[in-house]
Chains A and B, each alone.
Chain A
Amino acid sequence: MRYEAPETLEGAVALLAGATGEARVLAGGTDLLVQMRADVVDPALIVDIKKIAETRTVTEEKGGWRIGAAVTGAELKEHARLKKVWPGVVEAANLIGSTQVQGRATLGGNLCNGSPAADSVPALIAAGAVATLAGPQGRRDLPVEDVMLGPRKLALGKGEIVVSFLLPPRPPRSSDAYLRFIPRTEMDIAVVGAGVSVTVDEAGTISAARVSLGAVAARVLLVAEAAAAIIGSRLDRAAQDRLEAAARAACRPIDDKRGTIEFRIEVAGVLARRAALIALDRARTN
């Protein structure tokens, strides 16, 4: 098994594009190492991208925020300004695993692991995050909701890496929230995840919203109907009911050892509502 830690993006792309056997990107390793130990994957080549500066920085860009794909959840949590602007994204990244896991896990890895139950992905999608990819053909941007196509299936070509995420500029009175359902208080994979981002106008009415659900379908969903259900409202009871119904209608979950179909559908509505209420409360006080 070969291990390379290139210092440039071009180097990483070249290694991955030229790999003849199975190749894997290593960021935090909190999924890859577990899968290697369980004999689920046996890569011939591991490309560690953490030495590539662009994947490790958090910078303001054109009023928004660019987060490197290999920035850890713990580092995001320590970024006071980012946390203030995007509390939902930061809290989602810090629900992954444990304190120890958050010390290593990254947004890039969480997305590219290809699990519809990934915690940070609904928050990124609700935020309208756009992933910047680099590959043999150069760079391109892709909305996060278009990156994961299904379990372990990504829209990345051979040799393509996620370099960073761009969170758009935040209008005033905007905020986000992420909630997940797990049976314990920590450590579980999300049975349902809900990310909601809202913007409120001066009158307190929701003028913009995005709602994303995780672990309820083969990919993380961007649920336009759920957002439409609350735009133009003050999230009164009727709007909440519409939101729940729209969220539930979008679910196509499976029965597995973590939850049943009916449980996931039911709870998806509950979490979408609760996350929207938190996002709204944060947006109002922002």
Chain B
Amino acid sequence: MAENGTNGTNGQGYVGTRTIRPDGIDKVTGRARFGADYNLPGQLIGRVLRSPHPHARIVKIDTSKAEALPGVKAVITRDDFGDQPSEFIPAGEMMMNYKDVVRNVMAREKALYEGHAVAAVAATSAAIARRALKLIDVTYEVLPHVIDVVEAMRPDAPLLHDDLFTVGVEPKPDKPSNIAKRIEITLGDIEAGFAKADVIVEREFKTAPVHQGYIEPHAALATVSEDGSTELWCTTQGHYIVRAHCARLLGLDIGKVRVTATEIGGGFGGKTVVYLEPLAIALSRKAKRPVKMVMSREEVFKSSGPTSGATVRVKMGATKDGRFVAGFAELKYQAGAFQGSPVQPGVMCAYAPYDMENVKVIGYDVVSNRPKVAAYRAPGAPISEFAVESVVDEIAKKLGLDPIELRLMNAAHEGTKAAYGPKFGPIGLEETLNAVKKTEHWNTPLRKWQGRGLASGFWFNIGGETSASLTVNEDGTVSLMAGTPDIGGLRASLAMVAADELGIPYDKVRPIIGDTGSLGFNFLTGGSRSAFSGSMAIVEAAKQIKTELCARAAKLWDAKPDQVEFSGGSVRPLGALAEKVKPMSIADFAKMAGKTGGPIGGYGRINAQGAGPSLGTHLVDLEVDPETGRVTILRYTVAQDAGRAIHPAYVEGQFQGGAVQGIGWALNEEYIYGSDGKLQNAGFLDYRMPVASDVPMIDAILVEVANPKHPYGVRGVGETPIIPPLGAIANAMEQATGIRFTELPMSPPKVLKALKEREATSKV
């Protein structure tokens, strides 16, 4: 286990304990303010007119009647946004293009999905705004639409963009298509690998788009003053990103836009992009009043990005003693209306849990008439790893090998070269497999129609640009400012690290998330980076404070630098000096800050490197009702490598939350489209996320294989947990029913149909 950063105290630190989060009281009393809880005097209510067609040319938009309605103060359309030249930039762990962003925020030439924003109004009340939308006259030329990814790849499919030419194929195509990109990673020689195999399994899998399902809809409140200074409150995972996008789309100086991230009611990647924010600002600029906009639940489903649906083909070869000798996969991911599905991370992670010499993974990024996909917790990886883990399980069965032993035999470890490039440092997959092996869960017998399934998962995690500050107040308390929105425990974790670094009590550190005007750039909360990077920035800031205080002490005591050191919350005199002067605490310095050089603080500004992958293994028991196809999850265990858990309870919470999202994805969640291209289940009634009675307690096993590149050994943990459930549940289903399900979700009608078909064929 890694040592504490530079604490130097030999005793309990806060890191690794279960403190009460400092923002907790506001959250349990309803005082905490989320996106829709903000209001400004004189504000207008903004609402969006959305395309009812999945694919249509927008011939004309007549807003005159809406503008004339009393109470309407502004109406905007594509005419209020300048076009953007093509430029790709990172968006979370995916890429996006500004030319697409401006079109997704407000349709230009075409409406490309049902729910695509076509116009927006700001009015003195929600009722007037709704009426105004009905008065906007849009002339559409309805076009044929395409929904499914394989359909969209056909040469005769309806074309979404006549300027989209497939990148990554030779020769370069001269006709546009819906295939935006083809990518490929290769390691070794795949054909030679298959030639060595004693057993080869090839399967095709299909998954449906699923939504992040955050309970809080998107919300934004904007106010623009006469000189273009803009203030924006929004629920987001990255307020600096929002600032950049809005400034770009609206032609504003970044410095003139100040964004406050409100408390956020869930994101999971879905709030790393902009939807309402540029609209609210544009409306406010036009109306010269604050504008508040909140999405309805239906709008969230229809108009914000779910993750891709996909078709995946996997072919794996192994020797009879269980060595994986070849791994091939072809991933076809649907990106929604604009390019940028998470096929790249899907390709990267497909075989990453395993130490293999021969790997080839191909990926296609395909557009179709659905909402533009947004990141969803380890974007792309759950899909590809579901497919691979299913095939691994089949190999285990064919070879008569235990699924844990088979994975241990092939597990990636320190020194493994991944197919996507890097050589791994220390990682904890084997530890998680061994931890699961030791559980009572693994060793409990099952009954008929019950099945047990296992799967592992890998996510690379990221670091990135981070700014955070520590300020010592006059009474010795410390104000901590971080710049990545807190989606569930970050403030507690950073305060614990600060307390340990400075050797002061935890409740003397008060953390807040600063607005964009208060700190340097921060990349967004995503990529499992906020605790990892934030704590590194805090360590840096604390170091600056400690160095500064030592310098001040040396001056006060007329001592040399090597005669003072900081430990246990104070600057201490060393050697002979200790007989002459007493230690001085941070609080002591705080009282005399002005006299000794001025305010005391530290500012960590880093581009955090060295994010370590987090690997996990999940184990699930389930029971199938053979007469109805209904699946009940009986028991669930998660073991995952956290490197070092700053706050174990919130790390466990990530494991449990991700597992339950995966359960929903595996069993019941999917976007259901009619043949008219319209979404049929745009609400929580028929988009079926797990409820409390659907799942058991989730046993969480914290494995800690320290990340040597982090002062505390921390690895990001937030994303990996959603990856293994899909494969684990499919594998458990196979054990329970004898049927290999390759299509998600494994909902009751599908399960029952498969059971009945098997019954019919076995009777023949």
Chain A positions within 8 Å of B, measured between CB atoms, are: 38, 181, 183-189, 191, 256-260, 262-263, 266-267, 270
Q: Which residues of B contact A258 (CB under 8 A)?
A: 686
Partner among B672, B680, B747, B753 whose Cβ is within 8 Å of the Cβ of A183: B747
Can you list 10 A-B pairs with a CB-CB distance of less than 8 A?
Answer: A183-B747, A184-B688, A184-B693, A185-B693, A186-B691, A186-B694, A256-B680, A260-B749, A262-B749, A263-B748
The residue of chain A having its C-beta at the shortest distance from the C-beta of B670 within the complex is A257
Is the C-beta of B440 less than 8 angstroms from some C-beta in chain A?
A: no
**B668 and A257 within 8 A (CB):** no
CA distance A258 to B749 in the complex (A): 9
Q: Which residues of A contact B747 (CB under 8 A)?
A: 183
Q: Which residues of A contact B169 (CB under 8 A)?
A: none
Known: A185-B693, A270-B627. A257 touches B672 (CB 8 A): yes
The residue of chain A having its C-beta at the shortest distance from the C-beta of B686 within the complex is A257
Chain B positions within 8 Å of A, measured between CB atoms, are: 298, 627-630, 632, 667-668, 672, 680-681, 685-686, 688, 690-691, 693-694, 747-749, 752-753, 756
Partner among B628, B680, B685, B694 whose Cβ is within 8 Å of the Cβ of A270: B628
**A188 and B752 within 8 A (CB):** no
**A183 and B630 within 8 A (CB):** yes
Nearest-Cβ distance from residue A163 to partner chain B, whole angstroms = 29
Known: A183-B630, A184-B668, A187-B691. A257 touches B681 (CB 8 A): yes
**A186 and B752 within 8 A (CB):** no
Nearest-Cβ distance from residue B376 to partner chain A, whole angstroms = 20
CA distance A184 to B632 in the complex (A): 9
Grouping DSSP codes into helix (H, G, I), strand (E, B) and loop, the A interface class, with mixed when no group exceeds half, is loop
Q: Which residues of A contact B628 (CB under 8 A)?
A: 181, 267, 270
**A188 and B680 within 8 A (CB):** no
CA distance A241 to B688 in the complex (A): 33
Q: Which residues of A contact B686 (CB under 8 A)?
A: 188-189, 257-258
**B752 and A267 within 8 A (CB):** yes
CA distance A130 to B597 in the complex (A): 88
**B693 and A186 within 8 A (CB):** yes
Nearest-Cβ distance from residue B338 to partner chain A, whole angstroms = 26
**A263 and B752 within 8 A (CB):** yes
CA distance A188 to B690 in the complex (A): 11
**B685 and A187 within 8 A (CB):** yes
**A263 and B691 within 8 A (CB):** no
Question: What 7 new A-B contacts, CB under 8 Å, besides A185-B693, A186-B694, A260-B749?
Answer: A184-B690, A185-B632, A188-B685, A188-B688, A263-B752, A263-B753, A267-B627
The residue of chain A having its C-beta at the shortest distance from the C-beta of B130 within the complex is A39
Q: Which residues of A contact B691 (CB under 8 A)?
A: 184-187
Q: Which residues of B contact A185 (CB under 8 A)?
A: 632, 691, 693-694
CA distance A267 to B672 in the complex (A): 22
Nearest-Cβ distance from residue A60 to partner chain B, whole angstroms = 34
Most interface-central of B628, B629, B632 (chain A CB within 10 A): B628
Partner among A189, A259, A266 whose Cβ is within 8 Å of the Cβ of B685: A189
Q: Which residues of A contact B680 (CB under 8 A)?
A: 256-257
Q: Which residues of B contact A186 (CB under 8 A)?
A: 691, 693-694
CA distance A13 to B630 in the complex (A): 45
CA distance A270 to B690 in the complex (A): 24
**A181 and B630 within 8 A (CB):** yes
The residue of chain B having its C-beta at the shortest distance from the C-beta of A270 within the complex is B627
The residue of chain A having its C-beta at the shortest distance from the C-beta of B693 within the complex is A185
The residue of chain B having its C-beta at the shortest distance from the C-beta of A258 within the complex is B686
Nearest-Cβ distance from residue A95 to partner chain B, whole angstroms = 12
Q: Which residues of B contact A187 (CB under 8 A)?
A: 685, 688, 691
Partner among A38, A184, A267 whose Cβ is within 8 Å of the Cβ of B694: A184
Q: Which residues of A contact B748 (CB under 8 A)?
A: 181, 183, 191, 263
Partner among A181, A183, A256, A259 whose Cβ is within 8 Å of the Cβ of B668: A183
CA distance A38 to B296 in the complex (A): 10
Nearest-Cβ distance from residue B659 to partner chain A, whole angstroms = 16
Nearest-Cβ distance from residue B148 to partner chain A, whole angstroms = 17
The residue of chain A having its C-beta at the shortest distance from the C-beta of B681 within the complex is A257
Nearest-Cβ distance from residue A38 to partner chain B, whole angstroms = 7
In the A-B complex, the 5 residue pairs with the smallest Cβ-Cβ separation, listed nearest first, are A263-B749, A185-B693, A270-B627, A257-B672, A257-B680
Nearest-Cβ distance from residue B739 to partner chain A, whole angstroms = 16
**A262 and B753 within 8 A (CB):** yes
Nearest-Cβ distance from residue B682 to partner chain A, whole angstroms = 10
The residue of chain B having its C-beta at the shortest distance from the C-beta of A267 within the complex is B628
The residue of chain A having its C-beta at the shortest distance from the C-beta of B298 within the complex is A38
Nearest-Cβ distance from residue A151 to partner chain B, whole angstroms = 16
Known: A181-B630, A183-B630, A267-B628. A259 touches B298 (CB 8 A): no
CA distance A270 to B629 in the complex (A): 11
CA distance A187 to B694 in the complex (A): 10
CA distance A267 to B627 in the complex (A): 7
Nearest-Cβ distance from residue B674 to partner chain A, whole angstroms = 9
Nearest-Cβ distance from residue A31 to partner chain B, whole angstroms = 12
Nearest-Cβ distance from residue B19 to partner chain A, whole angstroms = 33
Q: Which residues of A contact B681 (CB under 8 A)?
A: 257
The residue of chain A having its C-beta at the shortest distance from the C-beta of B695 within the complex is A185
